[in-house]
Every structure is written in C-alpha cells, then in structure tokens.
Chains A and B, each alone.
Chain A
Amino acid sequence: MGEGFIRFEGISKAFGAQTVVRDLDLAIERGEFLSLLGPSGSGKTTILMMLAGFIAPTRGRIRLDGREIQDVAPYRRDLGVVFQSYALFPHMSVAQNVAFPLRMRGVARAEIAARVGRALDMVRLGALSDRRPAQLSGGQQQRVALARAMVYEPKVVLMDEPLGALDKQLREQMQLELRDLHRALGLTVVFVTHDQSEALTMSDRIAVFNAGRIAQIGTPEAVYDRPETRFVAEFIGETNVLEAEVASCEDGLVRLTVGRDRVLVARTERALAPRQGVLVCVRPERIAVTEDAQAPNAMPVTVADAVYQGDHIRLRLEGEGLSLIGRRGRAEAPLAAGAPGFACFAPEDCALVDA
C-alpha cells in the first residue's frame, strides 16, 4: 500500500447498536479509479458519505492529500459528488446548474461562462445548455451531473451508483464514457456500485465489501480470477464451488480429494497442509466438456440442461454427487441435453479459498 492520496485510517461507523463499517484501512492513489463493490448494506455507500462529509465516522481518521478531513464541513472539502438521483437543481437551466459551484466559489462572470462552456462540451451537451433538467433524458441528466461535479476541478470525484437509474444499453455506453473521462482528465474517482460488471469494466482497482469490511481489494483481474474468499468468488460473476480436502501440496501443485475418491489437481501460491479443507472455485467459462477421460481434472458428467443465451450456451452438468455450471461457446459443437461426457478444467483455472 502506497502513501495514499486518500487514506481511511481505522474508520468505524455505527448507527446505534449496528456497526456498518468496521476498522477500515484503505488507501486510494492519486488518479486512481477505485470501485467500492458490495451488496446493499455492506457499508460502501456509508464510506462514500463519510468521505463526502455527510456522515461523521464513529472512530478513525480520513486524510485527503495528507490533511485530516473527518471534521471538515462538506462544502469545504472540494470534492465532486455525483448522486444516484443526479440531484440536478430543477429550477436552473443546464448551464446554471454547471455554473453553480463556480458561483459559490466567487469565480468571475466571464470565466464562469467559459468554463461552463468547456465542461458542457466535454460531456457533449453544449447545444442543450438552456434546457431545464426535466427536459433532458436520463443519460443527458447524468452527463450534466458529471459536468457539474467536474467543472471546478475537484481533487476527487465521488460517484454513488450514478448509472443505476439508466437502462442497460445506456449504462454500458456511459461506463465507457466515464472511463475515457477519467483517463483524459487524470481524475481520482471513488465509485460505489453493486453491479460487478460495471466495476470490472471501469476500475483500476476494486474493493469488495462484505458486512462492513473489505473482503478483497485488487485489480479487476485479480478479484475475478483469484478470489480470496468464497464471498468474493460468488459475488463477482458466476462460479462453481467444490468442497475438497488437501491430499498433498508440493511446488504449488495441490492434489485434492473431492467427495469419496475423486482426485483433482490445482495450482496455487498458497501453502496448504494435508487434510486441510478447502473450496475449489472454478468459473463456468473455464469448464470444458470433452469425450477425453484423460483430460486434466476430468469428471464424468451428463448434460442435464443446455440453455441458449445468445453469445454462449449455458450448461448444467450433473455428475456423481456434484453439479456444475459450464459455458460453451457458439463456435464449439452443440451439446444436446442428456449427452454424456467429461467436465474438465486446467489446474491453473481454479482458485482455492478457505472453507
């Protein structure tokens, strides 16, 4: 962990008897796009609101660029916040909305006009500057909120599920636009979401929250491919979880027993002791169905169900005492329900987490 542009140091927050955030230590680097990902009630929005200044932490310190800010009023923190509801001022035009933070800072009139123009051009809304928020579509309102939160060049932009109210297509388009803006402006962004694909698309790092604690923090690849807990493995994407027991562990290659006598091989960086219980997590797209009984980790299964999903076929595979979800690309030979075969996956493609 580096020095950290934003640092949470031992932050806890309790509402009455209910602790929402527990002993949080988190450092966010300058220019980083960090997503706080978790189910509702995991504390991620509380953390964002503590950073914005609307919720005071029960314990701990928050530093922004070295300065302690946990007691600083929200309007002095110089952060940009994009709310889920956009929170545009309905009685002001688009241009007046974007000009608002500059007016509050006493910027000269001529400069306000120039900066508002630039900010609206940045989000491609220059032509709509005289409209009222109510006359804009959801995506356009979202862009106004972004322009307003960035026009005064805040140190950090916080976003609280800003794309939650958009339909799927617009959401995916806005994800890419946000990512481009982040890169072009070198912004530090803290982004709260419960949508894992959103977090995977945009983030430099993802912090996965569970019950007020960080379950895992890392790059999207690390969080997706090498989950450290069952919660992370199951929350992000779909996964198959097999209960297993370590038979032996040598040079990162682990032999595991599943069920009574099935043996699996997995590669891991963890040191595991024999007889230790672990969970084997395998992503559905890593599971192949072959007729080759000698394939790595081959397990005899029958295809219980094959469901067409457009870009892939989703397979439900039933074996002896186990049930797996697999994915099969459209390019591969189609499998009919009831077909026998072997489910297999490479030792590198599974993650071992504690039971």
Chain B
Amino acid sequence: MRGLGALGLVAPLVLFLGVFFFWPLATMLTTAISDDAVSRAFPATAEALADWDGAVPPSPAIQTAVASDLRENDDRSLLGDAVRRLNSAVPGFRSLITGTYREVRRDEAVPVDLVAIDPGWGEAAVWRGFARAMPPYTDRNLLAAVDLGRDAEGKIGPVAAQASANRVIMTRTFVIAASVTALCAAIGLPFAMLIAASGGRLRAMLLLAVLLPLWTSLLVRTAAWVVLLQNSGLVNQALEAVGLIDRPLPLIFNRAGVVIAMTHVLLPFMVLPIYSVLLTISPALMPAAATLGARPLSAFWHVLLPLVLPGLASGALLVFMVALGYYITPALVGGAEDQMISSVIAFYATGTANWGMAAALGIVLLAATLVLYAVYARFSRTPPGFAA
C-alpha cells in the first residue's frame, strides 16, 4: 500500500518525463530512420520484390505487381511522397512513374510488360533503386547528416564536396560554442569573484546585472547588439572617437558579432554556478594563503582556482550545451558563414519539410553532445585538486 502511494507521488514526474522527454526523443529517432513512403505506396511490389533474383527486367509477376499498385492507388499524396523519395534515389524516376501511371490506368491488361510501356524500366539501376527504397527503415538520413551516402552498389562513402556542408557546419557549431564558452569563462570567473567579494548594495547591483539578460527577450537582446555593433553603432563610434581606429570595425554579420552576442546572452549560465561555488569557499582562505607567503597570483592558482573548478566546469558545460543549439542569434547577427547546425535543422524542418533529415541532424548533434558530457563526467568524478 505504501509502495503504491509512493508510486502515485512520482507518477506526475514519470508522466512528464515520458510525454515531454522520451516520447519526442523516440519520435525524433524513428523519424530519422523511417522510410516507409515507398513501401506504403507499393505494398504489392514490396512483397514481390522481396524475392527478386536481380534479373533485369524482373519477372512478369513483379512487373504486374507494380502495375496493380499503380492502378489501385487512391491516395495521390502518398504516391507523391513515394515518387519524390524514388526520384531522389534514381533521377528520372518521376517521369517514369508518371508515364506508366497514365498508361496502366488506361489499359488494364494483365500481365503487364513495363519495358514496352517505357524503356526506362529496362535499366538495372531503376529496379535496384526501387528495391532498396522498399525497407521501411533507412540509414540514409543519418549518413547524409555527416556527409556520407551510399553509391549505386550500396557502399558507404563521402558525398561530393559541394553537395553537402553538414560536417563543415557541425564543426563550425562546435568551434563557435567552444569560443563562446572560453569567452564566458574568461569574463565570468573574474565577474563572479567580484560579486562574491563585494557586499551590500554593490553585490545586489552586480547580481542584477547578471540576471537582467535572463529577464529580457532573447530577440530584444540580440537586436540591441545589432544597434551597438553596426558600422555606425555605439562601439565603432566610441572607438573612432578615441582614435583607436579610423575605419569602422566589421563587428556585425560576421563571426565576431555572433560570439559577442552569444557570450552576452549565455554569461549568466557561467557566472551563477561559479558564484554559488565561491560562496561556499571560506573567506579566510585567501588571507591565510597570503600570510603563508603566497603572492596574490599563486594564492589564486593554488587555492582559489582548484576550489572553484567544479563551478567553472558546470558553468562551461551549461554554456557549451546551450550554445550548441543556438539559432536566433547567429541568424540575426551572423553572416552566411556563421550559421550553426540549428539553422540547417530549421531549414530541413520548416523549409523543405524533410523531417527525416532534420531529425537525423538532431540525433548527430545529440550524440556528439552526449560524448562530450561523458568526457566531462569522466574527468569530474575525482574532484580536481583532490588527487593525492
């Protein structure tokens, strides 16, 4: 009875995790590998092709199955999906199907000689592509996400260099996320130390300065950076006024703008974990290090830094993970060469309705992130500085 009550208490949590975490994840995974458009539009062909001996043209039974599938088709959009899928595997498939569709519907003869209707059916590549499109699951999207593909023989190999840029964009995504993380650490650590060292009103003000960005719309903050960083913006005007530069620095619509704006937006995720760790460090430690003969810099290096490292690590992890998925900021303040993987995912999801490709890219991103997290967990198991 008590066990049941406890189960009841965690039920909302389990339900929440299931509906909002595992279900979308599972959907994404299946979307990425599902490929049932052809097998659903050609059910009889799928069955007949299962024991195809590879002869071209195939047996009349198989050809008849194709014709009957085309005759009995009453869902044009389903057929359209299948044709799109087939055409992407074997160029020219669309016109082949369109012509055959019209012909077999007009003339209901059995058995059917497809090659007579269209000589295109005599080509081996057509039938091989047809057969390969039949299984309801495919690794096509996952391979494409990392710029790989299967050639006509079904061997995995890199796709043509100009055909896809997923690897380049993926690398760029990690480089941008890493630069933002490094910059956040370089600014966040001293800032958190300043907050921890100050008291009263000053501390409240500094904390407010960290938290304020979290309370402002991401869009507004990013737009503000456009205003600040543009050629006639505040930053360039100020630099020109003090004579440091005589021509406006290109700070916006390039990598610099993306890194600056993202660092600003993500800084709280670095400052807050470090600050909370700093609060647990006894204020007497640094004076103690000084009386023991440590100069300020070596006191920082030997005492404060090892103690603050867990906060720095979790801050870095947070910033890095969030930065990986950034979409709006690079889109608004970056150039074409600064778009991150999210924009590619968005392109597939909303631009071309290729959900399989969008999901596959998402999975690759998730996998890369999980690998990084595993590395982090491995190194943070023994707290830094605690090794004998």
Contact = CB atoms under 8 A, between A and B. Distances in A.
B317 interface: no
Given A83-B288, A100-B302, A130 B307 contact: no
A152 B293 contact: yes
Interface in B29-61: none
Interface string B287-307: 111111111101100110011
B307 A75 contact: no
A93 B298 CA distance: 18
A54 B289 CA distance: 12
A78 B388 contact: no
A274 interface: no
Contact of A93 (B284, B285, B288, B388): B388
Interface stretch (A84-92, A177-185, A226-234, A299-307): A84-92
Given A85-B282, A93-B388, A148 B307 contact: no
Consensus secondary structure, chain A interface? loop
Contacts of B293: 75, 78, 101, 104-105, 152
Contacts of B303: 89
B290 A75 contact: yes
Interface residues of B, number: 24
A91 B289 CA distance: 13
Interface string B255-299: 000000000000000000000000000101101111111111011
A52 interface: yes
A74 interface: yes
Given A75-B293, A91-B307, A104-B298, A54 B287 contact: yes
Give the most central of A74, A80, A132: most B CB within 10 Å: A74
B284 A87 contact: yes
Contacts of A81: 287-288, 291
Interface string A212-256: 000000000000000000000000000000000000000000000
A344 interface: no
Contacts of B285: 87, 89
B386 A104 contact: no
Given A89-B303, A91-B386, A130-B388, A101 B292 contact: yes
Nearest to B281: A90
A90 B307 contact: yes
Nearest to A145: B288
A155 to B, nearest CB: 12
Nearest to A77: B291
Nearest to A158: B291
B385 interface: yes
A79 B292 CA distance: 8
Among A77, A84, A104: residue with most chain B CB under 10 A:
A104
Nearest to A95: B388
Contact count band on A: 20 to 34
B24 interface: no
B135 interface: no
Given A80-B291, A101-B293, A104-B293, A87 B282 contact: yes
B199 interface: no
Interface string A17-45: 00000000000000000000000000000
Interface in A112-161: 130, 132, 148-149, 152
Contacts of B250: none
Contact of A75 (B282, B294, B302, B385): B294
Of residues A77, A81, A105, which shows the largest number of chain B Cβ atoms within 10 Å of its Cβ? Answer: A81
Interface string B356-388: 000000000000000000000000000111101
B224 to A, nearest CB: 39
Contacts of A104: 292-295, 298
B312 to A, nearest CB: 14
Contacts of B307: 89-91
B286 to A, nearest CB: 9
B289 A100 contact: yes
A107 B301 CA distance: 18
Contacts of A90: 307
Contacts of A80: 291
A95 to B, nearest CB: 10
Interface of A: 52-54, 73-75, 77-81, 83-85, 87, 89-93, 100-101, 103-105, 130, 132, 148-149, 152
7 contacts: A52-B287, A73-B290, A77-B291, A87-B282, A91-B306, A91-B386, A152-B293
Given A87-B287, A93-B388, 16 more contacts: A54-B287, A75-B290, A75-B291, A77-B291, A83-B284, A83-B288, A90-B307, A91-B386, A101-B293, A104-B293, A104-B294, A104-B298, A105-B293, A132-B386, A149-B291, A149-B292
